[in-house]
């Protein structure tokens, strides 16, 4: 039986975006949550998931479609942000399991949108140290002064970019590969896998 404390959720979100300022009244909202579950002890990616989220205060721009491949019609079939958070908590134990993302954007976007939508932050309290910035850990482990973007980090680690960059499901899967690289180097913080 798998020990729960060895599991880590690796998350990457895509959000509505524009080439320049958002249209009046629009705000950046999560439209896709990519999640890869990593068994840190077994050093493997256990599963990968995708949750499409229907934006309430913005629309997918042509720029956003070009970047992510996501269309307004596609995200219209998604769930509400509140439902996405419920899925994270119920199906992926987001309130109990530690999680990681590439940088701080994902954590901050969840915190902003949770406040704006009056939805409980799905990862426990935002002040708790359940989140690990994998980008910072990678830069420290490789002795880099500048924190690289995820595709560049994959090159540095000698790993392939699988799927499409700026697609949440694919990015989470690739970030999970980088986490496993760090685990293999003994550089992944032990506190990042303790519930």
CA 9 to chain centre: 8
Residue located via tokens 């913005």: 58
User: Average pLDDT, stretch 121-134?
Assistant: 84
Please write the tens of the pLDDT for every residue from 60-117: 999 999 999 999 999 999 999 999 999 999 999 999 999 999 999 999 999 999 999 9
CA pair distance 69, 63, nearest whole angstrom: 10
Nearest to 154 by CA among 168, 167, 165, 143: 165
User: Average pLDDT, stretch 131-154?
Assistant: 97
User: Average pLDDT, stretch 147-159?
Assistant: 98
Residue 192 pLDDT greater than 70, yes or no: no
Domains of the chain plus CATH, in order, are 4-188 (3.30.420.10)
Q: Between β-strands 7-15 and 30-39, what pairing exists: parallel, antiparallel or unpaired?
A: antiparallel
User: What's the whole-model pTM score?
Assistant: 0.94
Residue 107: which region, alpha, beta or left (left: phi > 0; alpha: psi -120 to 50)? alpha
Which residues neighbour 21 within 8 Å (Cβ) at sequence distance 6 or greater? none
CB 12 within 8 A of CB 167: no
Distances (CA, A) of 77 to 17, 31, 51, 81, 119: 19, 11, 11, 12, 20
Task: State residue 194's pLDDT score.
Answer: 47
Residue 195 pLDDT greater than 50, yes or no: no
Share of the chain above pLDDT 70, in %: 93
User: Average pLDDT, stretch 18-25?
Assistant: 96
b/e string for 140-157 if b means 16 or more Cβ within 10 A? ebbeeeebbebeebbeeb
Residue 149 pLDDT greater than 50, yes or no: yes
Task: State residue 129's pLDDT score.
Answer: 74
Distances (CA, A) of 80 to 16, 32, 106, 113, 119: 14, 11, 17, 12, 11
Share of the chain above pLDDT 90, in %: 90
Tokens at residue 171, please? 């990015």
Band of residue 1 on the pLDDT scale cut at 50, 70, 90: very low
Task: State residue 125's pLDDT score.
Answer: 74
């Amino acid at each position: 039986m798998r020990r729960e404390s060895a599991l880590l959720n690796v998350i990457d979100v895509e959000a509505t975006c524009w080439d320049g300022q958002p249209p009046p009244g629009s705000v950046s909202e999560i439209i896709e949550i990519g999640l890869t579950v990593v068994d840190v002890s077994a050093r493997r990616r256990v599963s990968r998931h995708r949750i499409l989220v229907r934006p309430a205060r913005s629309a997918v721009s042509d720029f956003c479609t070009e970047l992510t491949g996501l269309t307004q019609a596609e995200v219209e079939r998604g769930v509400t942000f509140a439902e996405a958070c419920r899925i994270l908590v119920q199906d992926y134990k987001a309130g109990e399991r530690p999680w990681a993302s590439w940088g701080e954007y994902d954590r901050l976007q969840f915190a902003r949108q949770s406040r704006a939508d009056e939805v409980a932050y799905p990862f426990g309290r935002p002040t708790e140290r359940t989140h690990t910035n994998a980008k910072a850990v990678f830069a420290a482990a490789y002795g880099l002064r500048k924190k690289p973007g995820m595709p560049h980090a994959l090159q540095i680690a000698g790993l392939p970019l699988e799927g499409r960059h700026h697609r949440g499901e694919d990015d989470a899967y690739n970030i999970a590969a980088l986490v496993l690289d760090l685990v293999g180097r003994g550089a992944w913080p032990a506190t990042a896998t303790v519930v």
